Structure formats: structure tokens, C-alpha cells
Amino acid sequence: MSIDIILASASPRRRELLKEIVPEFTLSVADIPEIAEDGETARTFALRLSGEKARKVSETLTSGIVIGADTVVTLDGRIFCKPEDTEDALRMLRELSGRTHSVITAFTIIDAEDGRAVKRAIESLVTFKAITDEDIRSYIQAGESMDKAGAYAVQGVGRRLIERTEGSYTNIIGLPLEEVREVLLSFGVTVRDEGDFSPPAPGSLQGKCM
């Protein structure tokens, strides 16, 4: 018997990533306010949001496996969510320039039939090159910044801003596939074994910014 998989996310990047291991699934977007509570760490914030997204969708179902996820960028204990506007994106990228920050993606997987839930938070590191305001403004004009945590996309034009990455590359994009695959298997879901989860070759991350 096949198991219905539901992705509780509007992110096109998560959708494309999940297709690597689960060819067929449906989407059900959970509208959750993405506001950190006082004293909340990046890890607990991402875990809470992923759980709220998955629960909100699972409560409308009688069966199926629901996946909720949330990604945050954190530097010096501060949480960088999606920028509010271009000036906010400029501020974020200035702060990330020449430094190493953490990318945390938390995911929650819930069996809507019996309520069983598993949560995990995976951390990867991203080191930016030292980038100028001209580079940053040019990148923002390219249109990748506004719907991304930290105002950049590691898999897009934003790779030119990056010196190196450490840890799960798909985690930085928005869904740690190896860990998600492991949990789905524990729920009895058939998943693909194939899929290249590694970052681009080092040479492709080099070169001048725009």
C-alpha cells in the first residue's frame, strides 16, 4: 500500500529537493507567522516553525506523512530570516561578508494517522568571500535575495559570493535530504537511493562577483 506524502511548504527549492528522493507528493502550505520569540535560539526557532507547519497540515488529514521544514541563517547568536526589503537584504549581506555563519534547517515529519512525529535540526556552515557594496547591490538586483533566509541562494547566482561550505549542502538549500530520507524510511516510506547531495566542484564557487 502506498503512503501519501504531503510537503507543508511553499518553497520551490524544497519541492525540487524532495523530488530527488520522493517522486510523488502533494503540497499543502501552512501559513505560520515566522517571528522568533524572546530568548529563542535559531535552532529552537527553526524546530518550532517546522513543527507548527507540519502539525497545522496534519490536523486536516486522517492519513499520510506530512513534512514541515524551516531554514534560518544565524551569525553571532542573531537570526537572519527572509529580508523585509532590499535595504534589509543589503544589511544582511554586509554582515555576512567575509565571515562564516551557520545555516540551520529543521524538519518535522508527522504521521497524520497516529500522530507519531520526529523532529531534527541540521547545521551547516557557509563562509562568504569579502564582498563590496557594489557586489551586494548587483546581487540583490539579480532577484534571488527576497525570499531566502540570509538574503542569498547557495545554489544560484549567490554561489559566487561563497568561499566554501561545510556540512550538508542540501541543508543549506533548504532540506537535508540524507536525514529526511532516513526518517522517511523509519515511517515505512519507499524512497529513492539515487541523488547527488554534494556541493558543486570547488572551482564553480570561485570567481569574481557580479
Question: What 3-state DSSP class applies to 6?
Answer: strand
Q: Is 147 a catalytic residue?
A: no
Q: Of 70, 76, 111, 147, which one is the catalytic site residue?
A: 70
The residues assigned a catalytic role are: 70
